[in-house]
A and B are shown apart, each in its own frame.
Chain A
Amino acid sequence: MIRRDFLKTGSLATASLLMPKFLKSIEAPGMLPVKGRSLVVIQFSGGNDGLNTIIPTRNDVYYRERPRLGIKRETALALTDEVGIHPTLGGLKNLWDDGSMAVLNSVGYPNPDRSHFRSMDIWHSASPADVFWQTGWLGRFLDAQCAGRPTAALEFDDTLSLVLKGDKAKGLALQDAKRLYESTRSPFFAEYSNAKGKVIDEEAPVDYLYKTMAETLSSANYLFEQSRKKSSTATYPATGLGKDLKTIASLIMADTDTSVYYVSLGSFDTHINQEAQQKRLFQELNDALSAFATDLKSNGKWNEVLVATFSEFGRRVSQNASGGTDHGTANNMMFLGGALRQKGLLNAMPNLMDLDQGDLKFQLDFRQVYATLLENWLGADAQKVLKVEFKPLDFI
């Protein structure tokens, strides 16, 4: 079905004449991603302060180290007797209450890097901290099992992040489906691509460019059609994240052939005036995610979606002198969806008595979390993608 839709290309029909040859790889045997499941990754850019997100409300060290920034027990929204969530995240607390939320604490990696760029690189590529990889973990997932499916992973941005770049396959970056469609609609591209198609030489470097161009034209058309097919009628906040999650919901409801949706929110780099900035970002997150969950639930899709959040690092335990916090190390990750096998707090809260020069020690390698998402949700061979073996956790 989906393939037929994919080839039915309307005004860009000419470009699709190129496609059958490139689509052959779809037929290749191997593991295919689990159908009808998608992963939505929300990247908190800038280093979110995890301790003020999932709050240890009975921890004296926390309040001692954060006399000004610590969120009081009575202000936090209680998740358990000892743990609260940021007061702006009421929608997430509701999801917690109905069993749609799980939290992993102290996720990180050995020898943490405090540069935003480098640490994000490490989270994107899933490389050891002293090695540089040119592909991302989700890009290698595309290589492993999404060849010939150029819409398998979408990033809602103008440019594509390392995380979605594989050796061969790459994700597709777009701001919105309509704009992508319009920017590729020049008849010239399609006509030229088509004319060249007849003499294409598989080995020539130019072939790669034509392939990418043809795939982009087809994808633009396909995504535009899909986004209108069952366009969400729910109300979302008029924010960047609200708009993106609404598009994602529409695509999910139209059974789009996409396994991974990727969005970013930021900047969480709160060296100064953290309270206001984190609150503003969490408001955007909370309102958009609440609308998203409600929308998908009422359309029977909440069980087919897993939302995962991460940040390149957490922040230091102690507040600084400017009403903010500086770059830290390990951090928590949140998971939302209707199909979680284990809910709530999945491991212990960070031990604030046992710090590494004022920073949290990581207890769980982020690649083990990736292995869990790959094996248990996306149906992929995690070892092949991560190039190292990690035993998946069983919360999904």
Chain B
Amino acid sequence: MNLQHLLWRMGFGPRTKSWENWSALPAASWWPKLRDESLAAPQHFDVVDGVVKGLLMGVGELGKMERRDLDKDQKRQLRKQSREDLQNLNLLWLEEMTHSKAQLREKMALFWHGHFASRNINILYQQQLLTVVREHALGNFADLLRGVSKSAAMISFLNNQQNKKQHPNENFAREVMELFTLGRGNYTETDVKEAARAFTGWNHRLDGEFVFRLRDHDAGSKTVLGKTGNFKGDDILDILLEKRETARFIARKLYKFLVNETIVPEERIVWLGDRFFESGYKIMRLLEDIARSDWFYAAENVGSKIKSPIELWVGMRRAIPMELADPESQLVLQKALGQILFYPPNVAGWPGGRNWIDSSSLMLRLRIPQLLYTNQDLDVRGKTDDDQQMGEAAKGQMRRLSAIMDWQPAMDLFAETPDNELIKKMADFVWAVPTKNLPLEVLQKNTDRSSRAALLQTSMVQLMATPEYQLC
């Protein structure tokens, strides 16, 4: 068993400060400790500005229930403030991932954030969706699916407001089957068409509350996946959850996220999926089955995953506590590395794996530790996003990756390690991959040996500036 592996896969990597406590524990108690630290209900985020709340919630009283009731200036104000608040929500969640004890919950929230991908520039709806995801991240998948499906963020992203009796819009019905539950090949086009009719009338108010509009609903008989009845949307979700394929689909996707992106033994997926199904979709049960299996720690799985940009960055911050002079530089980093929270590429989420890596993203990944350590400009800018900026803004300004780094935890952790063993000992801690056969002497040669502090700091920086550190 390998503690780094567990902490990287089921969380965002070890904190330097608590590493000694963790590694002193018997291996059998690692998983229970990690699990139990996530059991408390999450504190919900609220970054939505009063102006936005006033526009979206207050107007309800004036009888303005839909977006089209807002005038042009109000819409512009809403867009601008939403954009700012969404950045704050992004940064706040990053802080939570970095500092929260509930590592498993936040890691799973990130998984569901990609699974239930929604691009929506309305901050209130995004925040509501994140609340649903964080609340049910370790709970019951059926509750999670229902909550997400009825969120304003998803209803509007998948055009269900336009899904009306007279003019059905199949987008929502299709994605629910293809991406959220069954997966391709387990339903027909007719199932999509019929299910779309059942979802007619599902809508939301301006303040994000779900509403069922009876006048838009097609109350006729539908046949979906072999069942016939005057189904409503909830009935369709039930039918999808009654399918074993749904449990296997989720199990497979989670296996790829937590265990191995490329080597996915089918019998393992069937075993996990069926137990997940029989538990009535208890997410924690599925996680237990993975974390307690011997294969979770098999050599082919350890160090086999390319960290996502969020995993890489949060992991770095957990290894070296730091206070960023310009927290918004983290938004530029996300953009340049290809993963911005709340901006998945499309409804299918982030593809992951080798998709994270190209020349420019890899070189930036390798340069981040050095840029941080020497307080340099982050000399990259992301591409513009016209859905957000409406043609108004040019490329963002250059940001500086500047931080006050707290080296004390690392000093303490390696206090007893002599200089000539430092790089090896530290590699065992910093890297999730096995360190034998690696050219550590090259790393050592490039460290600054003018003082113990300099040696320690540059060793850590060098170790993080390697391809090995991109893996977990």
> Which of A's residues lie within 8 Å of B, judged by CB?
45-47, 115-118, 121, 130, 132, 134, 150, 157-162, 165, 170-174, 179, 183-184, 186-189, 191-192, 195-196, 199, 205-206, 208-210, 212-213, 215-216, 219, 264, 266-272, 277
Contacts and interface: CB of A to CB of B under 8 A. Distances in A.
B380 to A, nearest CB: 4
Q: Which of B385, B387, B441, B468 has the most CB of A within 10 A?
A: B387
Nearest to B370: A186
B366 A199 contact: no
B360 A132 contact: no
Contact of A46 (B391, B433, B467): B391
Interface in B312-371: 335-336, 338, 345-348, 351, 354-355, 357-363, 366-367, 370
B391 A269 contact: yes
Contacts of B361: 159-160
A213 B362 contact: yes
Contact of B347 (A46, A132, A157, A183): A132
A165 B359 contact: no
A159 B391 contact: no
Q: Which of B366, B386, B389, B468 has the most CB of A within 10 A?
A: B386
Contacts of A159: 335-336, 338, 360-361, 380, 382-383
B433 A206 contact: yes
Nearest to B343: A117
A165 B355 contact: yes
Contacts of A216: 359, 362-363
Contacts, number: 138
Contacts of B385: 116-117
A151 to B, nearest CB: 10
B456 interface: no
A98 B12 CA distance: 61
A157 B465 CA distance: 23
A333 B381 CA distance: 28
Contacts of B381: 158
Contacts of B347: 132
A206 B469 CA distance: 10
A128 to B, nearest CB: 13
B384 interface: yes
Contacts of A170: 358-359
28 contacts: A117-B387, A118-B346, A130-B174, A132-B346, A132-B348, A158-B336, A158-B360, A160-B360, A165-B355, A170-B358, A170-B359, A173-B360, A183-B379, A187-B446, A188-B462, A195-B441, A196-B439, A199-B437, A205-B305, A206-B433, A209-B306, A209-B470, A212-B359, A213-B362, A264-B383, A267-B391, A268-B391, A271-B391
B368 to A, nearest CB: 12
B357 A121 contact: no
Given A159-B338, A159-B360, A116 B386 contact: yes
Nearest to B446: A188
A104 to B, nearest CB: 23
Q: Which of A171, A195, A272 has the most CB of B within 10 A?
A: A195
B28 interface: no
Interface pairs A-B: 4 shortest CB-CB: A269-B391, A195-B439, A209-B467, A116-B386
B462 A208 contact: no
Given A183-B363, A212-B362, A195 B442 contact: yes
B62 interface: no
Contact of A172 (B346, B360, B433): B360
Contacts of A173: 358-360
A219 B367 CA distance: 18
Contacts of A266: 384, 386, 391
Interface string B446-472: 100000000000000010011110110
Contacts of A268: 391
Contacts of B470: 209
A118 B117 CA distance: 13
A117 B119 contact: yes
A158 B442 contact: no
B31 to A, nearest CB: 24
B40 interface: no
Interface in B187-230: none
Given A205-B305, A210-B467, A216-B362, A267 B346 contact: no
Nearest to A195: B439
Given A158-B380, A192-B439, 20 more contacts: A45-B383, A45-B384, A45-B386, A115-B387, A117-B345, A132-B348, A157-B383, A161-B383, A170-B359, A172-B359, A174-B360, A179-B379, A183-B363, A206-B433, A212-B358, A213-B366, A216-B363, A267-B394, A269-B390, A269-B391
A282 to B, nearest CB: 15
B386 A206 contact: no
B27 interface: no
B140 interface: no
Interface in B15-58: none
Contact of A196 (B174, B351, B386, B438): B438
B439 to A, nearest CB: 3
A150 B359 CA distance: 9
Nearest to A208: B354
Contacts of A116: 385-387
A165 B355 CA distance: 8
Nearest to B359: A216
